[in-house]
């Protein structure tokens, strides 16, 4: 920023659902490299490294590079970080260091093609705004800000047209919040004694805590008053100078804030017009939040500087005489953040990039209900196959079904393992229309709390209706078929963001739908009077959707997310063993399952304050696995029976799952 000059479960328990939801828990498609264009906020060594103790602290972009498993090296050393301290957007402000030249140099090195799997950062504008503010001409200042913002957006468009995967474009922080503003007022208003005045101002300012924005402004006004004492020994003149300096500071702060808003708005409009996979992050908003409540984020002073007065952050170490280690500062020098602030920026950016991936877990809600519904229905199918019901028999059944798993949600991003548990209550009825044909209806409901990752949780309330039928073929064959439709309400959606010592929670709610059908067929060969065995096959098709929603907050971290859809087509082959012992009738089944539908799932997202959006895609799901089931039916009386079953998957890299159900039935 600163210038260089300061430089499934089992087949019969809804197999389709397991494959689909496991895909949503798979690692994200990883970015292979990080490419950076910008100024001293992002420069990791082309011109310098602008934060104190930079040899032992990472800048925000180096932290992000580590998050995706790579190392960020300056382009001057053959790396992919083209950012240069002192950089501006266009040559008209600085012909030596521009992001225009940086982007051109990168594309020239690749033959004009960008990396479709790469993560890009294009962050420029701080020095452009400084030049605009110092022009002292309101019309010229707005023209500079508008032109630089438009050209910056054009450079992002060049990257996208060349095939860049995802481009992160941060807003420019308000230069009116940087200490350089106070310095500029002192240097102009107290020119003959500016060095002594600056030292007096920072001596006062650094000693203060600034618990909020008002306290910060008051501290700066008092620091300007301390500087004024260097301009005269006469109290009346000192008071006049202090008032003049404070008025000049307030006026310049207003101008700087207006220019910052002009730049950020102009760039955002131009980026939206361009389209493409743009991840806008609001660093300006984040800094405003830190200034409003610094202690929440681990800072004590947002107005002063840690480095000695006049020492650039690129040359500043904590062992220099005059370095202030008494408290946590937001700024290293008059224009550059501290290492602590860089870490905060990286946490924030990563949370925005991860948002769509975390939200992709919402499809789990509808899938879990369908899985539980089908699990209990399969137990009912098993009962009906072993009962010799006459035409006209009416049946009622109901029970509990659930499933649990320890999911590995996006481990490549460090989001942590999740714990998914779902529960449903089901009630149904069926009617034997003929000796070999029955039909029925089942209604199901759920109320679940899921935590697919350390940072994301939600509650799902669902209702589902299922119609089903069964046909017996000859003496030993059978075919079952069912169709379901469900509606879901997701509420109490919580997405937690770590920002320094603080944890912020964004909340939302939305709705979803799930529909599908399946056909299952089998043949039971008698091997003993009480034992049958044979093959089983199934094909299922399912579609689920989650409506777009916006989080309720209006913070820099608040996001909106697009519609989600997912399609599943699963085939399964296996073998069954079924015993009819009289009162207790156990059975077992093993199947091999294969997913032929969607292998990955994409979700769009954006911070609420932008017109742009970007998409993230999960990694490929497990496309085959083995499912094992054991169950039993118990004939309590001639008319009343009980059932129970449990299933376990194996061969799933993204976390094995267990499902279970139990219930009662009656026939009339």
Instruction: Calculate mean pLDDT across residues 650-666.
Output: 88
Give the CA diameter of the chain.
115
pLDDT > 70 fraction of the chain, expressed in percent and rounded: 93
Phi, psi of 188 (to 5 degrees): -85, -45
Which ranges of 89-135 would DSSP assign to H, the alpha helix? Answer: 99-109, 126-134
The span from the CA of 535 to the CA of 88, in Å, is 70
Residue 77 shares a structural domain with residue 198: yes
Domain boundary among 307, 326, 353: 353
Question: pLDDT band for position 27 (50/70/90)?
Answer: very low
Average pLDDT estimate for 439-460: 92
Residue-wise pLDDT for 345-396, tens only, equals: 999 999 999 999 999 988 766 778 888 999 999 999 999 998 888 999 999 9
Question: ∠ CA 382-650-20 to the nearest 5 degrees?
Answer: 80
pLDDT for 12 equals: 35
In a domain, 595, yes or no: yes
Structural contact between residues 564 and 360, judged by C-beta atoms closer than 8 angstroms? yes
Q: Give the C-alpha separation, 652 to 17, whole Å.
A: 14
Round to whole Å and give the CA distance between 535 and 525.
9
Higher-confidence position of 13 and 406: 406
364 belongs to a structural domain:
no
Answer whether 330's CB lies under 8 Å from 341's CB: yes
What CATH number does residue 81 fall under? 3.40.50.1110
Q: What is the pLDDT of residues 409-441, one digit of tens each?
A: 444 444 455 667 889 999 999 999 999 999 999
**Which of 353, 380, 399 is the endpoint of a domain?**
353
The residue segments making up the domain with residue 97 are 4-353
Q: Helices (H), strands (E): how many in the chain?
A: 12, 23
Answer yes or no: is 439 within a domain: yes
Interval 475-506: pLDDT, tens: 899 999 999 999 999 999 999 999 999 999 99
Residues 118 and 175 in one domain: yes
Tell whether the model's pLDDT for residue 206 goes beyond 90. Answer: yes
Q: Percent of the chain beyond pLDDT 90?
A: 81
d(CA 515, CA 225): 70
Residue count of the chain: 668
Dump pLDDT digits (tens) for 133-159: 888 788 999 999 999 999 999 999 999
312 and 195 co-located in one domain:
yes
Least confident of 9-23, 221-235, 406-420, 565-579: 9-23
Of the given ranges (153-167, 321-335, 403-417, 515-529), which has the lowest mean pLDDT? 403-417
Task: Supply the pLDDT for residue 13.
Answer: 37
Beta strands in 409-524 (DSSP E): 417-434, 437-453, 456-473, 477-499, 502-523
326 and 436 together in one domain: no
Q: What is the pLDDT of residue 17?
A: 36
How many CA atoms, within 13 angstroms, populate the side-chain half-sphere of residue 519? 3
For the entire predicted model, the pTM comes to 0.91
Q: How many domains does the chain have?
A: 2
Same domain, 344 and 377: no
Do residues 45 and 170 share a domain?
A: yes
Bridge-based pairing state of the strands 329-331 and 549-550? unpaired
Domain C-terminal end among 292, 322, 353? 353
> Is residue 527 domain-shared with residue 593, that is, in the same domain?
yes
DSSP for 516-552, please give it: EEEEEEEE-EEEETTEEEEEEEEEEEEEEEE--EE-S
Alpha-carbon distance 462 to 117, whole Å?
Answer: 37
Average pLDDT of the chain, as a whole number:
92
CB 154 within 8 Å of CB 104: no
Cα 622 from Cα 63, distance rounded (Å) = 30
Q: How far is CA 434 from each of CA 325, 393, 471, 638, rounded to the nearest angstrom? A: 86, 9, 9, 20
What separation in angstroms does the CA of 344 have from each of 8, 167, 337, 440, 598?
Answer: 40, 20, 10, 57, 36
Tell me if 539 sits within 8 A of 501, measured CB to CB: no
Residues 343 and 375 both lie in one domain: no
Residue 452 in any domain: the answer is: yes
**Can you read off the two tokens belonging to residue 8?**
């499934």
CA atoms of 628 and 153, how far apart (whole Å): 55
Whether residue 651 is contained in a domain is answered as yes
Helix (H) or strand (E) holding 351: helix 339-359
User: Considering the domain boundaries, does residue 362 fall inside one?
Assistant: no
> For position 623, what pLDDT does the model report?
84
Mean pLDDT in residue range 111-123: 98
pLDDT at site 397: 98
- 279: in domain: yes
Least confident of 1-10, 513-522, 616-625, 657-666: 1-10
One domain, residues 544 and 495: yes
As a whole number of angstroms, the distance between CA 423 and CA 448 comes to: 6
Residue 135: its pLDDT value, please?
Answer: 80
Is 360 a domain residue? no
Q: Count CB atoms within 10 A of the CB of residue 364.
A: 30
557 and 577 in contact (C-beta within 8 Å)?
Answer: no
pLDDT band at 184 (very low <50, low <70, confident <90, very high): very high
**Residue 1: per-residue pLDDT:** 53
DSSP characters over 243-273: HHHHHHHHHHHHHHHHHHHHHHHHHHHHHHH
When comparing pLDDT for 92 and 309, which is higher?
Answer: 309
Q: What is the DSSP string of 561-596?
A: E--EEEEEEEEEEEEEEEE--SSEEEEEEEEEEEE-
Whether 226 and 283 map to the same domain: the answer is yes
- So which residues are the catalytic ones? 40, 333, 336
Q: Please provide residue 477's backbone torsions phi and psi, each rounded to the nearest 5 degrees.
A: -100, 160
Q: Round to whole Å and give the CA distance between 154 and 132.
A: 20
Same domain, 545 and 657: yes
Q: What does the angle CA 488 – CA 489 – CA 491 come to, to the nearest 5 degrees?
A: 150
Strand order in the sheet with 278-281: 34-38, 119-123, 166-170, 278-281
pLDDT, residue 662, reads: 98
The full DSSP string for 182-247 is HHHHHHHHTGGGHHHHHHHHHHHHHT----SHHHHHHHHHHHHHHHHTTT-S-HHHHHHHHHHHHH
- Write down the pLDDT at residue 236: 96
CA-based nearest residue to 103, from 126, 87, 127: 87
The alpha carbon dihedral of 86, 90, 91, 92 has a sign of negative
**Same domain, yes or no, for 469 and 392?**
yes
CATH number of the domain where residue 521 is located: 2.40.128.130
Average pLDDT of the residues in 170-196: 96
Contact criterion met (CB below 8 Å) for 244 and 221: no
């Amino acid at each position: 920023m600163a210038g260089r000059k300061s430089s499934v479960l089992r087949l019969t328990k809804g197999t389709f659902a397991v494959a689909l939801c496991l895909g949503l828990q798979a690692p994200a498609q990883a970015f292979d490299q990080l490419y950076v264009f910008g100024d001293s906020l992002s420069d990791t060594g082309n011109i310098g490294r602008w934060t104190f103790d930079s040899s032992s602290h990472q800048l925000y972009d180096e932290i992000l590079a580590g998050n995706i498993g790579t190392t960020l090296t300056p382009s001057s050393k053959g790396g992919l970080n083209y950012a240069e301290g002192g950089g501006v957007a266009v040559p008209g402000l600085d012909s030596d260091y521009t992001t225009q030249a940086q982007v051109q140099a990168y594309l020239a090195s690749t033959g004009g093609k960008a990396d479709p799997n790469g993560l890009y950062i294009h962050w420029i504008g701080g020095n452009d705004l400084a030049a605009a503010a110092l022009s002292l001409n309101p019309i010229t200042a707005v023209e500079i800000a508008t032109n630089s913002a438009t050209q910056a957006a054009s450079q992002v468009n060049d990257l996208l047209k060349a095939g860049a995967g995802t481009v992160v474009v941060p807003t420019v922080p308000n230069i009116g919040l940087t200490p350089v503003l106070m310095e500029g007022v002192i240097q102009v208003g107290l020119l003959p004694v500016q060095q002594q005045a600056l030292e007096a101002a920072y001596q006062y300012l650094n000693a203060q805590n600034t618990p909020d924005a008002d306290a910060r402004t008051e501290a700066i006004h008092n620091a300007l008053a301390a500087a004024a004492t260097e301009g005269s020994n006469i109290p009346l003149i000192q008071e006049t100078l202090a008032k003049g300096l404070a008025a000049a500071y307030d006026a310049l702060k207003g101008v700087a804030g207006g220019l910052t808003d002009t730049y950020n708005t102009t760039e955002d409009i131009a980026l939206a017009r361009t389209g493409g996979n743009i991840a806008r992050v609001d660093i300006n908003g984040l800094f405003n939040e830190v200034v409003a409540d610094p202690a929440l984020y681990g800072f004590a002073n947002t107005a002063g500087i840690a480095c000695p007065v006049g020492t650039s952050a690129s040359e500043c170490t904590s062992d220099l005489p005059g370095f202030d280690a008494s408290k946590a500062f937001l700024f290293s020098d008059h224009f550059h953040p501290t290492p602590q602030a860089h870490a905060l920026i990286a946490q924030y950016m990563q949370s925005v990039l991860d948002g769509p991936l975390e939200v992709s877990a919402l499809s789990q809600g509808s899938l879990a209900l369908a899985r539980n519904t089908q699990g209990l229905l399969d137990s009912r199918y098993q009962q009906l196959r072993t009962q010799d019901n006459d035409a006209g028999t009416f049946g009622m059944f109901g029970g509990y079904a659930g499933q649990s798993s320890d999911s590995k949600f996006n481990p490549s991003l460090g989001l942590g393992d999740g714990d998914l548990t779902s529960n449903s209550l089901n009630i149904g009825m069926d009617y034997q229309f003929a000796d070999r044909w029955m039909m029925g209806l089942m209604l199901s409901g759920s109320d679940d709390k899921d935590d697919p990752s350390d940072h994301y949780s939600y509650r799902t309330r669902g209702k589902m209706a299922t119609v089903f039928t069964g046909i017996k073929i000859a003496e030993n064959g059978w075919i079952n078929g069912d169709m379901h439709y469900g509606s879901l309400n997701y509420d109490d959606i919580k997405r937690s963001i770590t920002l320094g010592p603080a944890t912020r929670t964004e909340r939302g709610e939305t709705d979803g739908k799930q529909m599908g059908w399946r056909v299952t067929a089998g043949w039971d060969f008698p091997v003993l009077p009480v034992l049958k065995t044979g093959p089983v096959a199934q094909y299922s098709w399912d579609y689920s959707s989650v409506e777009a929603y916006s989080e309720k907050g209006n913070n820099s971290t608040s996001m909106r997310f697009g519609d989600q859809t997912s399609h599943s087509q699963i085939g399964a082959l296996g073998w069954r063993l079924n015993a009819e012992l009289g009162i207790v009738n156990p059975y077992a089944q093993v199947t091999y399952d294969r997913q032929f539908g969607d292998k990955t799932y994409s979700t769009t997202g954006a911070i609420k304050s932008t017109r742009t959006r970007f998409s993230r895609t999960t990694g490929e799901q497990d496309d085959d696995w083995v499912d094992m089931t054991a169950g039993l039916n118990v004939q309590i009386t001639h008319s009343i029976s009980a059932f129970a079953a449990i299933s376990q998957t194996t061969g799933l890299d993204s976390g094995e799952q267990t499902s279970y159900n139990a219930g009662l039935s009656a026939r009339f």
